[in-house]
Amino acid sequence: MEVSFYYWLFGAIAFALGAAIGSFLNVGIYRLPRDISIKQPRRSFCPNCKAQIPWRQNIPLLSWLLLRGRCANCGARIAFRYFGVELLTALLFVAAWRFFPWQVAIAYWVFISILLIATFVDLEHFIIPDEITIGGAIAGVVASFLVPELMNADSRVAALIRSVLAAALGYVILWIVLEAGKIAFGKKRVKLDAPSPFKWTRQGDDADFVVGEERSLWSDYFARETDRLLLHCDEAKIDNRDFAAALLEFHYNRVRVGADEFMLDTVDHISGIARELEIPREAMGRGDLKFLAAIGAFLGWRGVLFSIFAGSVFGSIVGLATLVIGKRVWSAKLPFGPYLALGALVWMFFGEKFVHWYLQLVNPV
Ligand SMILES: [Zn+2]
């Protein structure tokens, strides 16, 4: 009777705390990639009308439901993501509380927060800021020192060393994958049979890009802010400017020719004769390396290996599914960070069971 009461009481507290932290994560997800301080302005504001949100319209979960996902001031839609992140955080906090001893659960609350903020920033912006990845790795090492159970260690120093080594393993192993990937299919160089005419025509926020017979959508070439497309031209014309024997270096929003730079939203036409097209693409962003280091610092070396393995499997499944549905563009643009986060979550809750099952499979008694 009494056990049941405390069971539900602490469950409810974990849920409420998770929802409140989720509300704070939403602030970070919006502000971190935009370089807006977490502390200033103190109050949340509507992304549309910038009006401050009074506390009674800022109650986790409830406000979004009561206001039916709209700003009370201007009526603009507030994305479902705000509600979703709060609910997800609350549920994961309760799950961690139920699964683990309380010290471990509190450390995992911190880790869950890091996973969620990284996932949603990466989905939207294709980056994971250093505050989350490097900050997360440091938090993981500190947490392992305070709660040695995280590393299955019986002394704090041993836990600290294991955590640091696992973080390093995460970084290095993904670095190797990244470099290998670059050799395998990173640098895509298309030599054209003969010098071919190309044409770039702006269509609203996007553009048509035609090289020879190939027609494509401009945004298909750019998955990340750092992606580039190099066009080696015999001649080129950007609106009314002419260039001879030029290298056009495109980013998703601008093009550079020698010392000149043009913002693409002010350019209407680019055309010319191209010899070669080059896409020096990185299979993953550098942020993923540091993110996996943070995962290692919290979960240890087995968690690192599992997260890469599971993340790749999840990524392939989604990639194949979208290929079948015929939405290839979307799958090409999905970042790797959220898959790593999902792998880390699965390991956190089911890792021990998985190892047990696997050992029985390879070595039946
Ligand atoms: Zn508003």
Please report the pLDDT score of residue 223 as a whole number. 63
Rounded distance from Cα 102 to ligand 1 centre (Å): 40
Please tell me the distance from the alpha carbon of residue 170 to that of residue 181, in angstroms, as a whole number: 16
Rounded distance from Cα 193 to ligand 1 centre (Å): 54
Please name the helix (run of DSSP H) or strand (run of DSSP E) that holds residue 359, with its range, or none: helix 337-362
Please tell me the distance from the alpha carbon of residue 40 to that of residue 130, in angstroms, as a whole number: 20
Q: Which stretch, 74-83, 187-196, 288-297, 350-359, has highest mean pLDDT?
A: 288-297
Predicted confidence band of residue 213 (pLDDT cuts 50, 70, 90): confident
Q: Is the pLDDT of residue 16 over 90?
A: yes
Q: Is the pLDDT of residue 348 over 70?
A: yes
- Residues 334-362, mean pLDDT to the nearest whole number: 90
Rounded distance from Cα 266 to ligand 1 centre (Å): 29
- Torsion angle, alpha carbons of 178, 182, 186, 191, to 10: 170
Please report the pLDDT score of residue 331 as a whole number. 42
Q: Which residue has the tokens 């299955």?
A: 152
User: Percentage of residues in the chain with pLDDT exceeding 90?
Assistant: 50
Predicted confidence band of residue 127 (pLDDT cuts 50, 70, 90): confident
Please tell me the distance from the alpha carbon of residue 280 to that of residue 159, in angstroms, as a whole number: 40
> Can you give the C-alpha Rg of the chain in angstroms?
24
| Structure token pair of residue 34 | 């935009």
Helices 102-125 and 337-362 pack at an angle, to 10 degrees, of: 130
Q: Is the pLDDT of residue 149 over 80?
A: yes
Rounded distance from Cα 48 to ligand 1 centre (Å): 5
Report pLDDT digits (tens) over 66-119.
Answer: 988 999 889 898 889 999 999 999 999 999 999 999 999 999 999 999 999 999
Rounded distance from Cα 64 to ligand 1 centre (Å): 13
| Structure token pair of residue 175 | 């670095």
Rounded distance from Cα 55 to ligand 1 centre (Å): 15
- Torsion angle, alpha carbons of 65, 62, 99, 351, to 10: 40
Please report the pLDDT score of residue 330 as a whole number. 45
Please report the pLDDT score of residue 54 as a whole number. 85
Q: What predicted TM-score, i.e. pTM, was given to this entire model?
A: 0.76
Q: Which stretch, 3-17, 52-66, 142-156, 329-343, has highest mean pLDDT?
A: 142-156
Of 19-33, 279-293, 304-318, minimum mean pLDDT range: 279-293
Please report the pLDDT score of residue 221 as a whole number. 74
Please report the pLDDT score of residue 365 as a whole number. 67
Please report the pLDDT score of residue 281 as a whole number. 60
- Residues 351-357, mean pLDDT to the nearest whole number: 89
Rounded distance from Cα 129 to ligand 1 centre (Å): 27
Rounded distance from Cα 29 to ligand 1 centre (Å): 18
Q: Mean of the per-residue pLDDT values for the chain? A: 87
- Residues 168-174, mean pLDDT to the nearest whole number: 94
Rounded distance from Cα 76 to ligand 1 centre (Å): 6
